[in-house]
C-alpha cells in the first residue's frame, strides 16, 4: 500500500520537474529570439546562430536552477499545505513501512486513500510554465518590430551591399540553356575592398573590378565542351569537375557580356559589370580658395576637409609651398604636413581638421602660402584638391614712404596720418603694461579723435558735409546772425540751402575711386569705434585695411611704361611709294576635305528595316545583312556598357536568327539605337523648283524686259 | 454599236444552231418546249452581255426627302416621321441602327419619286463621296467636332538635321487632362498637356536622329489609358551639298571659318579674297580650281550661292542678270564702308542704334525655338521694308539678317560680321543654324523634272489621288506593281492625276517610268478618326453651301431617267433554260 502513495508522490515530482523544464525552455526561446533578431538586424546572423543562442541560454538556466535535484520533500510539504485532509502526515508515505508504528500505519492507510484522489495536474506547478508561454508568445511582436521596422540599423555595409545586389539581379529574368540545371558563381572581390566573397545563382554578374570570379555549372547531360565566350571572342573553357559539373574561373577587369556555349549551343547574353574603384574625393570646407590675412588678425588657418572613398582611405597629407620675397628674388619652400589623424582604420570617410599656425612655418608678412590636400585610397589611387592660397599682409611695404617721395605725391599729409595712427596704436599697445588704465584709455580716445579728424578730411573729398554743417551753433562767425545782413536773401540762402551736390560735382574722381574712398571711410569708422571703446588691438585690422585701400588709391594715379627695344629694317628708298605690285604673287590654296564616313550609317539603315519588320517578315538577304552590320556596332557598345545595350544585342540577334520580330524586341533595339545615334547636324540645303514647263522662268524674263 | 450587232448576230446564230440540233434529234416528245428553252437561253445570254435599260419618268415632290446616316450620328436626333426613308452607306451604322437601309450613294438618285433633298446626319461625307451625290441638295445636321486631335500637320519631308514639328489642335471634351506624347524609335521625345474641357493648340518637336522613311507616333493619354495612337510618317533625306562662292574684300576670320565649316561637310567652296589692288588670294575646297579674278555668267552659273562683302559684290557686273534670270542666291555681308544705291542694298536700309552698349546680344534665328548664345554685334540693324523678310533678329525685334526676292533669285543681307565668335565659344549649333538658314534662303532652287503630291490622309481601301507634275508627258506609271493611267488636267497642262486604291497600310511607292519613286504612307481605316471626322464636317459644310436645299429650282418636275435592268434576272433565266434542257434529256431516258 505504501508503494502506491510513494509512486503518486514521485509522479507529482516528475510532473513538477517537467513543467519547470518546459517553462525554462520557453523563457530561453523567447530570450534567444530577441537576441537573434537584434543580431540579425545589426550583423545579419543566420538562424543557426539563433539555435545556438537558445541552447546556450537554456543550458545556463538549467545549470542555475538544477530542477532535477528537487526531491520529494518539497512536494510533500506542498501537498500538506494544499490538502488539509492529509493532516500534515503525507510524509509517512516516504518512510519504510517496517519502521512505522501501528498508529502511523493507520494514518498511512488514510493518507494513501486521500492521495489516490489527488489530481496529477496541479495549478501551482504550471504557474511558471504559463508565464513562460505568455512571454514566448509576446516576443514575436518585438522581434518583428526589430527586424522589419529598423532597417536603418543595418550598419553592416556588407549585408547591405549584397542585399542591394541581390535585389537588382532578381529583377532580371534570365534565359538559361535547357542543359543547365544550376549555376553557382562565386565572386571574390580583391582584398583591398575588404569585402567577403559571395555566391549567386544567376549569370548576370556585378563585381568589383579585379574580382576573381568562379563559375560552376551543373548540367543535366554530359557535354564535350563547355565554354564561356566573353564579348564575342575571348573564350574560357570550363573543365569537368565531378559528375555533370563544370567549373572555371577568371579575373574580371572590365565590363562587357558573356554567353555560355555547351557543345556549340549558345545561350542568351549575360551582363558582366565591373564596378570601378573611384579615387578619393576631397572636399575642403574651410578656408576659402583665397584667404587674405590682414595685419593684426591672428596668423593661422584652419583646414577643414572631408575625404570620401569607395572602400577606404590609406593616408592624406597637406602639401604646402611657401613663397617668400617678390620679383626675381622669390623663394619657395615646400613642406608636407600630416593631418595628425590616424588612418589605420582605412575607413571610407574621414572628417579631418588641421590648424596651421603660419609663423612656425617661417611665414612673414608679405609671404604667400599655397597648399593642397592629397589623399590616397587603399588601391593606391591618388587624388589631390585644388590649390588654396593664404597670404599675409605686407605691413612693411604698406608703411613705406617710397611712393610718396617719388614726386607724384598728391595729398601726402593724409596718408601719413593714417600711417601715424597705426604707428601710434602699435606704440600704445606696446606701452599697455607700463601705463595706467586711465592714461591708456585717454590715449586710445585721443587716437580715436585723430582718426575722426582724418575721416572728416577724406569725407570732404567725397562731398560729405563737414562736422560744422551738422551743428551750426558751433560756428563762430555766423553771417546770418550779423545784423548787417538782415534781409539779405542771398546770405540766408547761402547759409541754409543744401550745396553738397555742388561739392560732389566739383570732384573729378571717377565712380570707382569714389567707391573705394567710401570703403576707406567705412574702415576708418570701424577703427574709430574700436579706439573709442579702448580696444586699439581690435582697431588695428581696420586701420591697416584703411591704409591699404588708400595706398591702392595712390597707386591708381600712376602709369608705368616699360622700355622696349625695336630696330626696324632699313627702308629701300627707291621702292617706296611706287605702287609696284608686279612681284606679288596671287596665292591659291586647294584642298579636298573627305567627309568622314558616317560611323552610324549601319544603325541608321537598320532603323528602316526594323520599321518594315513591324508589318512583314524579313524577306531579302540585304535586310539581314543590314541588321547584322548594326548588330556588330551594338555589340561593340555593349562590351563597353552592357547595362545599356546588352538587351538590345540579344533582341537583335533573335530577330536576325528567326527573321521575324516581336514588338517588344523591336522597341528594345530601337531604343538602344536612338540612344546611340547623335542628333543630326543642321546643314544648308536647297529647296526644289516647281515643275511648271518653264512658266515661271518666262515670267521673270518678261519682268526684266518691261 | 457594232459590238451590239456582233453580239446579236452571234446569239441569233447560236439560237439557230440550237433549234436545228433540236429538230434533228430522234426523240421528239417535248420538241416545242425544248426549242423555246434553247431560244430563251440564247436571248438571256445576249442580255447578259448587252446592257439593257429602260426609261422612266421620275416625279419630284418637294417634301420627299431622304435621310442619310453617317458614322457618329445620334439616334435621338432623328424625327419619327422620316423613319421610312432612312439610308446609310456604312455597315457599322446599319448594325447599330437596323432600320436604316444599306445602299450605294448613287442609288439615291434613282429612286422614284426622286428625292428633292437629303438630310444628312453624323459627321458627313468626304469629297469623294460627295461627288457621288451628284449635286443633290443636302440639309446637314452636323455633330460637334469629336474629342481628339481635330487638326494636325507636320513636315512629312525633311532634310537630316532639320526639326520635325508636329502642330495641331486638340479638342478635349473629357473631364481629365490629356497628355500628348511624341514617340520615335520607341523613345519618348516630347510631350504636351491639354487641360480638361478645352480646345487647345499644341506643338511637339524633335530633331530626328535617323534617316530614310520613319514612322513617328503621336499618343494621347489620360491617366493610364491610351486614347489614340496615331502614325506620323516622315521621310528624312540626306542633305545634298551645294556649290558656294565666297568673295571677300579682305582675308578675314569670318570667311575662313565659313569656308572650313562648309568644306568639312563636303560642300564645294571657292573663296576669293582681295589682298591688294587687283591681287586676289583664292582657295578651293572639294572642287577644281577655276580662275576667279574676272567673274562671268558662265562661271557664276556653276554656283548655287554667292556670299560676299557688299563692296566687292557691287563691282561684279555679271551678277545681276544671273540672279534675276537664273535664280542664283546672294548673301550680302554689310561692310561698314559702303554707302550708295546699288541694287543689292536698296531693299536693306541700315540704321545704327544711338545707344553705346556694346554688350553681346542673343539673337533669335527663325525656325529655332531657343535664342542663340550672346554675340557681340555692331549696333547696326536693317530697317523692315515691305518686300523683305527678317530672318535673324535680336530681342527687341531689330532685324540683323533680312531677305528679299530679286527676280527668280534671292538676296539675303546680313549685318552680322563676326558669327565666327560662336564657333570660337563652342556654340557650333548656333553657327550651323545661322548659316544654314541664310544659305537655305538664298540657295538656287534645284530644278526637278517631276514632283508628286498626295492628298492628306490616304486611307487603305479608299481611292487616293496622286498628283504628278511633270514637264513631259509621263511614261508608264507604276503604283506598287500595278500600272495606272494618268489623266491630264485640261487647265494646267503639266498636272496629271492618278487614282489608286491601296489595299495594305504602310509605305507605298509610285513612280513613273525611269523616274524616282515617290513614297507615301497609307493609313489604316481607323487612324486619325477625329481629324478625318473634322475634315468630313468641313467638306460636307462646303457642299451644303454650294448646293443649298432651299434653292427652288434644282430639278425639273418631270425627269426622264434611264434605269438599267439588273443582270441577275438574265442569269436566272439562262440557268432555268439550261437546267430544263439538261433535266429533260436525263428524265426521258
pLDDT tens per residue across span B445-504: 888 888 888 887 888 888 888 888 888 888 888 888 888 888 898 888 888 888 888 988
**C-alpha cell, B69:** 446616316
Amino acid B81: pLDDT:
52
- Please write the tens of the pLDDT for every residue from A51-87: 999 999 999 988 888 888 888 888 888 888 888 877 7
The terminus-to-terminus CA distance of chain B in angstroms comes to 45
Residue B142's φ and ψ, nearest 5 degrees, are -75, 155
Question: How close A691 gets to chain B, by Cα (Å)?
Answer: 6
Q: How many CB atoms lie within 10 A of CB B376?
A: 11
Q: pLDDT tens digits, residue range A403-421?
A: 554 444 444 444 457 888 8
Residue A505 has pLDDT above 60, yes or no: no
Task: Identify the CA nearest to B523 among candidates B500, B534, B507, B509.
Answer: B507
Average pLDDT for chain A: 80
Q: Give me the numbers of helices (H) and strands (E) for chain A, helices first please.
A: 20, 20
Fold that domain A158-275 belongs to in CATH: Immunoglobulin-like (2.60.40)
Chain B residues touching A692 at Cβ < 8 A: 469, 494
Q: Which CATH class is domain A281-393?
A: mainly beta
Residue of A nearest to B303 (CA): A686
Maximum average pLDDT range among A96-105, A168-177, B315-324: B315-324
Among B184, B282, B285, beta carbon nearest to A586: B282
Average pLDDT of chain B to the nearest whole number: 85
Burial class (CB in 10 A: 0-12, 13-18, 19+), B462: middle
All residues of chain A having their beta carbon less than 8 Å from the beta carbon of residue B407 are 700, 703-704
Q: Which of A453-457, B59-63, B96-100 has the lowest mean pLDDT?
A: B59-63
Whether B243 contacts chain A with CB within 8 A: no
In the predicted structure, residue B270 carries a pLDDT above the cut 90: yes
Nine-digit cell string for A703: 519682268
Round to the nearest angstrom and report the end-to-end CA distance of chain A.
153
pTM for the structure as a whole: 0.60
Residue of A301, A279, A283, A282 lying closest to A291 (CA atoms): A301
Helix (H) or strand (E) holding A109: helix A102-117
Which residue on chain A is closest to B442 by alpha carbon?
A: A686
Q: How far apart are CA A488 and CA B59, in angstroms?
A: 117
**What does the pLDDT read at residue B566?**
82
Q: How far is B157 from chain A (nearest CA, A)?
A: 11
Residue of A671, A683, A692 for testing the chain B interface, max B β-carbons within 10 Å: A683
Picking from A588, A684, A703, the nearest residue to B289 by CB comes out as A588
Look up cell 542633305; give the residue.
B239
Residue B371: pLDDT band with limits 50, 70, 90 = confident
pLDDT of residue A471: 46
Three-state SS string across A284-329, please?
Answer: EEECCCEEEECCCCCCEEEEEEEEECCCCEEEEEEEEEEEECCHHH
Q: CA of A314: how far to CAs of A191, A309, A310, A375, A656, in Å?
A: 14, 10, 12, 8, 51
Nearest by CB to residue A688, choosing from B213, B433, B451, is B451
Provide mean pLDDT across the span B264-274: 91
Contact A608 B212 (CB under 8 A): yes
- Residue B221 · residue B178 · CB < 8 Å: yes
* Residues 498-527, chain B, touching A (beta carbon < 8 A): 504-507
Contacts of A431 (CB under 8 A, 6+ apart): A440
**Which is more confident, B367 or A162?**
B367
* Residue B563 neighbours by CB under 8 Å, 6+ apart: B53, B54, B55, B56, B110
Residue A606, min C-alpha distance to chain B (Å): 9
- Describe the crossing of helices A437-461 and A511-532 by its angle, rounded to 10 degrees: 160
Task: Give CA–CA dist A105/A596, Å, rounded.
Answer: 123
pLDDT interval class at B80 (50, 70, 90): low
pLDDT tens-digit map of B133-189 = 777 778 888 778 788 888 899 998 888 888 899 999 998 888 888 999 998 888 899
Contact A337, A360 (CB under 8 A): no
The phi and psi torsions of A352 (rounded to 5 degrees) equal -110, 150
Which domains are present in chain B?
2-52+565-588 (no CATH), 58-137+547-564 (no CATH), 148-238 (2.60.40.10), 243-442 (3.40.50.880), 450-522 (2.60.40.10)
Alpha-carbon distance of B121 to B107, in angstroms, equals 18
pLDDT higher than threshold 60 for residue A160: no
Q: How confident is the model at residue A470 (pLDDT cuts 50, 70, 90)?
A: very low
Amino acid at each position: 500500500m505504501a508503494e502506491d502513495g510513494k509512486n503518486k508522490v514521485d509522479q507529482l515530482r516528475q510532473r513538477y520537474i517537467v513543467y519547470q523544464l518546459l517553462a525554462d525552455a520557453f523563457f530561453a526561446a523567447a530570450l534567444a529570439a530577441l537576441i537573434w533578431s537584434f543580431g540579425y538586424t545589426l550583423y545579419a546572423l543566420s538562424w543557426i546562430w539563433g539555435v545556438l543562442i537558445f541552447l546556450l541560454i537554456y543550458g545556463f538556466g538549467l545549470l542555475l536552477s538544477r530542477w532535477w535535484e528537487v526531491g520529494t520533500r518539497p512536494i510533500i510539504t506542498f501537498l500538506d499545505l494544499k490538502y488539509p485532509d492529509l493532516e500534515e502526515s503525507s510524509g509517512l508515505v516516504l518512510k519504510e513501512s517496517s519502521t512505522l508504528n501501528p498508529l502511523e500505519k493507520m494514518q498511512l492507510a488514510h493518507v494513501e486513500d486521500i492521495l489516490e484522489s489527488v489530481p496529477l495536474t496541479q495549478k501551482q506547478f504550471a504557474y511558471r510554465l504559463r508565464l513562460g508561454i505568455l512571454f514566448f508568445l509576446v516576443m514575436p511582436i518585438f522581434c518583428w518590430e526589430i527586424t522589419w521596422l529598423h532597417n536603418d540599423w543595418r550598419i553592416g555595409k556588407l549585408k547591405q551591399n549584397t542585399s542591394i545586389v541581390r535585389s537588382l539581379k532578381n529583377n532580371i529574368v534570365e534565359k538559361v540553356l535547357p542543359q543547365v540545371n544550376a549555376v553557382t558563381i562565386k565572386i571574390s572581390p580583391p582584398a583591398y575592398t575588404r569585402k567577403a566573397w559571395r555566391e549567386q545563382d544567376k549569370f548576370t554578374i556585378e563585381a568589383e573590378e579585379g574580382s576573381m570570379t568562379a563559375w560552376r555549372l551543373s548540367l543535366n547531360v554530359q557535354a564535350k565542351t563547355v565554354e564561356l565566350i566573353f564579348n564575342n571572342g575571348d573564350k574560357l573553357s570550363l573543365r569537368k569537375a565531378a559528375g555533370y559539373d563544370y567549373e572555371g574561373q577568371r579575373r574580371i577587369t572590365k565590363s562587357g557580356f558573356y554567353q555560355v556555349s555547351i557543345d556549340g549551343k549558345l545561350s542568351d547574353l549575360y551582363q558582366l559589370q565591373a564596378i570601378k574603384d573611384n579615387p578619393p574625393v576631397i572636399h575642403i570646407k574651410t578656408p576659402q580658395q583665397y584667404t587674405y590675412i590682414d595685419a593684426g588678425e591672428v596668423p593661422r588657418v584652419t583646414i577643414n576637409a572631408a575625404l570620401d572613398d569607395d572602400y577606404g582611405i590609406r593616408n592624406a597629407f597637406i602639401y604646402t609651398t611657401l613663397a617668400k620675397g617678390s620679383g626675381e628674388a622669390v623663394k619657395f619652400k615646400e613642406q608636407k604636413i600630416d593631418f595628425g589623424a590616424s588612418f589605420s582604420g582605412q575607413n571610407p570617410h574621414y572628417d579631418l581638421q588641421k590648424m596651421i599656425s603660419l609663423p612656425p612655418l617661417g611665414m612673414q608678412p608679405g609671404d604667400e602660402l599655397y597648399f593642397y590636400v592629397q589623399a590616397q585610397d587603399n588601391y593606391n589611387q591618388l587624388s589631390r584638391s585644388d590649390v588654396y592660397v593664404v597670404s599675409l599682409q605686407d605691413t612693411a611695404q604698406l608703411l613705406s614712404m617710397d611712393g610718396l617721395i617719388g614726386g607724384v605725391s598728391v595729398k601726402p599729409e593724409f596718408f601719413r596720418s593714417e600711417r601715424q595712427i597705426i604707428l601710434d596704436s602699435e606704440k600704445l599697445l606696446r606701452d599697455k603694461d607700463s601705463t595706467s588704465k586711465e592714461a591708456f584709455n585717454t590715449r586710445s580716445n585721443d587716437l580715436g579723435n585723430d582718426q575722426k579728424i582724418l575721416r572728416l578730411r577724406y569725407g570732404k573729398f567725397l562731398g560729405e558735409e563737414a562736422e560744422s554743417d551738422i551743428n551750426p551753433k558751433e560756428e563762430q562767425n555766423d553771417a546770418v546772425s550779423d545784423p548787417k545782413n538782415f534781409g539779405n536773401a542771398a546770405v540766408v540762402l547761402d547759409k541754409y540751402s543744401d550745396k553738397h551736390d555742388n561739392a560732389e560735382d566739383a570732384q573729378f574722381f571717377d565712380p570707382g575711386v569714389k567707391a573705394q574712398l567710401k570703403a576707406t571711410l567705412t574702415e576708418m569708422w570701424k577703427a574709430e569705434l574700436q579706439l573709442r571703446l579702448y580696444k586699439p588691438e581690435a582697431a588695428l585690422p581696420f586701420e591697416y585695411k584703411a591704409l591699404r585701400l588708400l595706398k591702392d588709391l595712390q597707386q591708381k594715379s600712376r602709369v608705368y611704361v616699360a622700355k622696349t627695344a625695336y630696330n626696324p629694317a632699313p627702308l629701300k628708298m627707291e621702292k617706296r611709294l611706287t605702287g609696284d605690285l608686279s612681284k606679288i604673287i596671287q596665292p591659291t590654296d586647294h584642298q579636298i576635305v573627305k567627309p568622314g564616313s558616317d560611323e552610324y550609317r549601319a544603325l541608321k539603315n537598320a532603323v528602316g528595316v526594323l520599321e518594315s519588320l513591324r508589318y512583314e517578315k524579313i524577306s531579302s538577304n540585304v535586310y539581314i545583312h543590314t541588321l547584322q552590320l548594326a548588330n556588330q556596332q551594338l555589340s561593340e557598345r555593349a562590351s563597353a556598357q552592357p547595362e545599356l545595350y546588352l538587351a538590345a544585342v540579344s533582341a537583335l540577334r533573335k530577330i536576325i536568327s528567326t527573321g521575324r520580330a516581336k514588338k517588344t524586341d523591336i522597341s528594345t533595339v530601337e531604343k538602344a539605337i536612338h540612344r546611340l545615334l547623335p542628333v543630326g547636324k543642321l546643314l544648308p540645303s536647297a529647296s526644289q523648283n516647281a515643275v511648271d514647263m518653264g512658266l515661271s522662268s518666262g515670267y521673270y524674263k518678261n519682268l526684266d524686259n518691261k | 454599236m457594232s459590238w451590239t450587232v456582233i453580239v446579236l448576230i452571234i446569239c441569233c446564230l447560236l439560237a439557230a444552231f440550237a433549234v436545228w440540233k433540236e429538230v434533228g434529234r430522234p426523240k421528239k416528245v417535248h420538241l416545242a418546249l425544248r426549242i423555246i428553252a434553247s431560244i430563251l437561253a440564247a436571248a438571256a445570254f445576249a442580255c447578259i452581255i448587252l446592257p439593257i435599260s429602260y426609261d422612266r419618268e421620275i416625279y419630284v415632290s418637294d417634301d420627299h426627302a431622304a435621310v442619310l446616316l453617317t458614322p457618329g450620328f445620334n439616334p435621338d436626333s432623328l424625327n419619327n416621321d422620316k423613319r421610312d426613308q432612312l439610308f446609310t452607306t456604312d455597315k457599322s451604322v446599319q448594325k447599330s441602327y437596323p432600320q436604316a437601309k444599306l445602299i450605294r450613294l448613287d442609288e439615291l438618285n434613282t429612286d422614284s419619286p426622286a428625292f428633292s433633298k437629303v438630310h444628312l446626319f453624323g459627321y458627313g461625307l468626304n469629297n469623294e463621296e460627295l461627288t457621288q451625290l451628284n449635286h443633290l441638295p443636302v440639309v446637314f445636321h452636323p455633330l460637334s467636332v469629336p474629342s481628339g486631335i481635330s487638326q494636325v500637320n507636320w513636315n512629312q519631308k525633311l532634310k537630316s538635321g532639320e526639326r520635325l514639328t508636329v502642330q495641331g489642335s486638340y479638342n478635349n471634351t473629357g473631364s481629365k487632362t490629356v497628355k500628348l506624347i511624341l514617340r520615335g524609335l520607341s523613345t519618348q521625345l516630347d510631350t504636351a498637356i491639354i487641360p480638361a474641357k478645352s480646345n487647345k493648340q499644341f506643338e511637339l518637336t524633335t530633331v530626328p536622329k535617323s534617316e530614310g522613311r520613319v514612322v513617328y507616333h503621336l499618343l494621347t493619354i489620360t491617366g493610364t489609358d491610351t486614347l489614340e495612337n496615331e502614325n506620323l510618317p516622315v521621310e528624312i533625306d540626306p542633305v545634298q551639298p551645294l556649290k558656294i562662292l565666297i568673295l571677300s574684300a579682305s582675308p578675314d576670320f569670318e570667311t575662313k571659318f565659313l569656308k572650313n565649316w562648309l568644306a568639312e561637310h563636303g560642300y564645294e567652296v571657292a573663296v576669293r579674297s582681295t589682298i591688294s589692288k587687283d591681287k586676289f588670294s583664292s582657295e578651293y575646297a572639294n572642287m577644281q580650281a577655276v580662275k576667279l579674278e574676272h567673274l562671268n555668267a558662265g562661271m557664276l552659273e556653276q554656283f548655287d550661292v554667292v556670299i560676299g562683302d557688299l563692296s566687292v559684290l557691287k563691282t561684279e557686273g555679271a551678277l545681276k542678270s544671273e540672279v534675276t534670270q537664273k535664280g542664283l542666291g546672294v548673301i550680302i555681308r554689310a561692310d561698314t564702308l559702303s554707302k550708295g544705291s546699288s541694287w543689292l542694298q536698296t531693299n536693306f536700309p541700315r540704321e545704327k542704334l544711338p545707344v553705346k552698349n556694346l554688350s553681346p546680344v542673343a539673337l533669335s534665328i527663325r525656325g529655332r525655338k531657343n535664342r542663340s548664345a550672346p554675340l557681340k554685334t555692331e549696333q547696326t540693324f536693317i530697317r523692315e521694308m515691305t518686300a523683305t523678310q527678317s530672318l535673324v533678329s535680336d530681342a527687341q525685334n531689330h532685324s540683323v539678317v533680312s531677305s528679299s526676292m530679286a527676280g527668280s533669285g534671292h538676296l539675303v543681307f546680313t549685318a552680322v560680321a563676326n558669327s565666327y565668335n560662336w564657333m570660337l565659344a563652342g556654340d557650333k549649333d548656333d553657327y550651323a543654324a545661322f548659316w544654314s538658314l541664310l544659305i537655305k534662303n538664298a540657295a538656287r532652287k534645284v530644278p526637278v523634272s517631276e514632283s508628286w503630291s498626295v492628298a492628306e490622309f490616304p486611307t487603305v481601301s479608299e481611292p487616293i489621288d496622286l498628283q504628278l507634275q511633270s514637264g513631259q508627258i509621263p511614261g508608264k506609271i507604276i503604283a506598287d506593281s500595278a500600272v495606272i493611267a494618268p489623266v491630264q488636267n485640261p487647265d494646267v497642262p503639266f498636272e496629271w492625276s492618278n487614282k489608286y486604291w491601296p489595299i495594305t497600310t504602310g509605305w507605298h511607292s509610285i513612280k513613273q517610268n525611269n523616274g524616282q519613286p515617290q513614297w507615301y504612307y497609307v493609313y489604316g481605316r481607323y487612324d486619325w478618326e477625329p481629324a478625318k471626322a473634322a475634315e468630313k464636317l468641313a467638306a460636307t459644310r462646303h457642299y451644303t453651301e454650294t448646293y443649298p436645299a432651299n434653292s427652288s429650282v434644282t430639278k425639273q418636275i418631270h425627269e426622264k431617267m434611264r434605269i438599267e435592268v439588273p443582270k441577275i434576272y438574265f442569269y436566272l433565266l439562262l440557268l432555268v433554260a439550261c437546267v430544263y434542257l439538261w433535266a429533260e434529256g436525263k428524265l426521258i431516258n
